[in-house]
Chains A and B, each alone.
Chain A
Amino acid sequence: MLHVGNFRSRTCAGVSRRSFLKLSAGLPLAFSATGLPRVAEAADQGRAKSVILVWLWGAPSHLDLVDPKPKAPQEYRGPFCPIQTKTPGIQFTELLPQLATRTDQFTLVRSMVSSNGGHPGAGTVGLTGYEESPGPVQPNFGAIISKAQQRPGDLPPFFYVGRGIPRDLPRRIKGYGGGTLGPAHDPFLVNCTPLGEVELPGLRLLDGLTPDRIVNRQDLLARIDETRRLTDGSEVANWSRVYQTAYNLLTKPEAVKSFDLTQESESTREQYGYTKFGQSCLLARRLVEAEVPYIQVNWSEYVEAMSPGCDFGWDTHIYNFELLQDRHGPIFDRAFSALLDDLKQRGLLETTLVLAMGEFGRTPKINKRAARDHWPRCYFSMWAGAGIEPGRVIGESDARGEDPVTDPITPLMAGTTVAELCGVTAQQRAEMQVLDGGNVIEELV
Chain B
Amino acid sequence: MNTRCSNLSYRIAKWFCPVLLLFGLLQMPVISAEELRLTSDGRIKRDPVFIDNGDTLVYVVDESSDKMRLMRRNMRDGSTEPFHKNAPKSEFSPAFSANGQYYAFIQSRGNLSLALVIRELQGVKSSEVKPAGGFSGMRSPAISPQGKRVLYCFPEKGSQQIWSVNMEAQDRKALTDGQGIDNWPAYTPDGKTVIFGSTRDGNYEIYSMQSDGKEVKRLTNSPMQDIRPVISHDGKRIAFISQRDGNRELYVMNLDGSGLQRVTRHPDRDDYPAWHPDGKRIALVSERAGRTDLYMVEVSP
A residues contacting B by CB (< 8 A) are 11-13, 74-75, 79-81, 94, 97, 163, 169, 193-195, 266, 269-276, 278, 302, 304-312, 315, 317-319, 321-322, 325-327, 330, 334, 366-371
In the complex, what distance in Å separates the CA atom of A371 from the CA atom of B204?
15
Write out the residue numbers on chain A whose beta carbons fall within 8 Å of the beta carbon of B157: 368
The closest CB in chain A to the CB of B39 belongs to: A12
The CA-CA distance from A334 to B291 in the complex, in Å, is: 12
Chain A residues within an 8 Å CB radius of B136: 318, 369
Q: Is the CB of B247 within 8 A of A371?
A: no
A315 to B247 CA separation, bound complex (whole angstroms): 25
Q: Cβ of A334: which chain B residues have Cβ within 8 Å of it?
A: 290
The answer to whether B291 touches A318, judged by C-beta atoms less than 8 angstroms apart, is: no
Question: Count the B residues whose beta carbon is within 8 Å of the partner chain — how many?
Answer: 54
Q: Is A325 in contact with B203, judged by CB distance below 8 angstroms?
A: no
Instruction: Report whether B108 and A370 are in contact in the complex, using a CB–CB cutoff of 8 Å.
Output: no
In-complex Cβ contact of B65 among A276, A308, A370 (8 A): A276
Q: In the complex the two chains form, is A97's CB within 8 Å of B246's CB?
A: yes
- Smallest CB separation, B269 vs chain A (Å): 6
- Bound state CA distance, A13 and B28, in angstroms? 29
Q: A414 vs B158: C-alpha distance in the bound complex, in angstroms?
A: 34
A366 to chain B, nearest CB (A): 5
Given the complex, which residues of B lie within 8 Å of A366, measured CB to CB?
Answer: 158
**Selected A-B contacts with CB under 8 Å, 11 pairs:** A12-B42, A74-B179, A79-B180, A79-B199, A94-B243, A97-B247, A163-B65, A195-B42, A273-B287, A318-B135, A369-B155
Min Cβ gap A421→B in Å is: 31
A278 close to B111 (CB less than 8 A): no
Does B42 lie within 8 Å of A319, measured CB to CB?
A: no
Contact of B290 among A163, A273, A304, A319 (CB under 8 A): A273
Interface residues of B (CB under 8 A from A): 40-44, 46, 62, 65-67, 88-90, 108-114, 134-137, 139, 155-160, 179-181, 183, 199, 202-204, 223-225, 227, 243, 246-247, 269, 271, 287, 289-293
Q: Establish whether residues A327 and B111, one from each chain, have CB atoms under 8 Å apart when the complex forms.
A: no
Instruction: List residues of chain B with CB within 8 A of the CB of A307.
Output: 108, 110-113
Looking at the assembled complex, report how far the CB atom of B242 sits from the nearest CB atom of chain A, in whole angstroms: 11
Q: Is the CB of A274 within 8 A of B290?
A: yes
Give the complex CA separation of A368 and B133 in angstroms: 12
Partner of B88, one of A270, A272, A308: A308
A240 and B79 alpha carbons, distance in the complex (Å): 49
Other than the known A274-B290, A308-B90, A370-B158, what 10 A-B pairs have Cβ atoms closer than 8 Å? Answer: A194-B62, A273-B287, A307-B111, A308-B88, A308-B111, A311-B65, A318-B137, A318-B155, A370-B160, A370-B181
Task: Give the 8 A-B residue pairs with the shortest CB-CB distance, closest first.
Answer: A370-B155, A270-B290, A79-B199, A12-B40, A370-B160, A317-B135, A273-B290, A12-B42
- Is A79 within 8 A of B179, CB to CB? no
* B112 and A305 within 8 A (CB): yes
- Residues of chain A with a CB closer than 8 A to B156's CB: 368
Chain A residues lying within 8 Å of B289, measured Cβ to Cβ, are 266, 270
Q: Is the CB of A306 within 8 A of B112?
A: yes
Contact B243–A370 (Cβ < 8 Å): no
**Residues from chain A with Cβ under 8 Å of B113 in the complex:** 307
Whether B111 and A368, one on each chain, are in contact in the complex, defined by CB atoms closer than 8 angstroms, is no
Q: Which of A11, A269, A278, A304 contacts B112 (CB 8 A)?
A: A304
Bound: A65/B65 CA distance, A: 23
Q: Are A312 and B112 in contact (CB under 8 A)?
A: no
By a CB distance below 8 angstroms, the chain A residues around B158 are 75, 366-368, 370
B67 to chain A, nearest CB (A): 8
Q: Which residue of A lies closest to B153 (CB)?
A: A370
**Roughly how many angstroms separate A271 CA and B203 CA in the complex, as a whole number?**
30
- In the complex, the answer to whether A194 meets B246 with C-beta atoms within 8 Å is no
The answer to whether A274 touches B225, judged by C-beta atoms less than 8 angstroms apart, is: no
- A80 near B203 with CB under 8 A, answer yes
Find chain B residues with CB under 8 A from A368 CB.
155-158
In whole angstroms, what is the CA distance A12 to B40 when docked? 5
Across the two chains, which residue of chain A brings its CB closest to B135? A317
C-alpha gap A368/B290 in the complex (Å):
36
**In angstroms, how far is the closest chain B Cβ from the Cβ of A398?**
20
Task: Using CB atoms, name the residue of chain B closest to A315.
Answer: B112
Cα A81 to Cα B205 in complex, Å, equals 12
Nearest-Cβ distance from residue B117 to partner chain A, whole angstroms: 15
| Nearest chain B residue, comparing its CB with the CB of A269 | B290
Contact A304 B111 (CB under 8 A): yes
Question: What A residues does B160 contact at CB under 8 A?
Answer: 370
* B246 cross-chain contacts in A, Cβ below 8 A: 97
Cβ contact within 8 Å between B41 and A12:
yes
Q: Is the CB of A369 within 8 A of B135?
A: yes
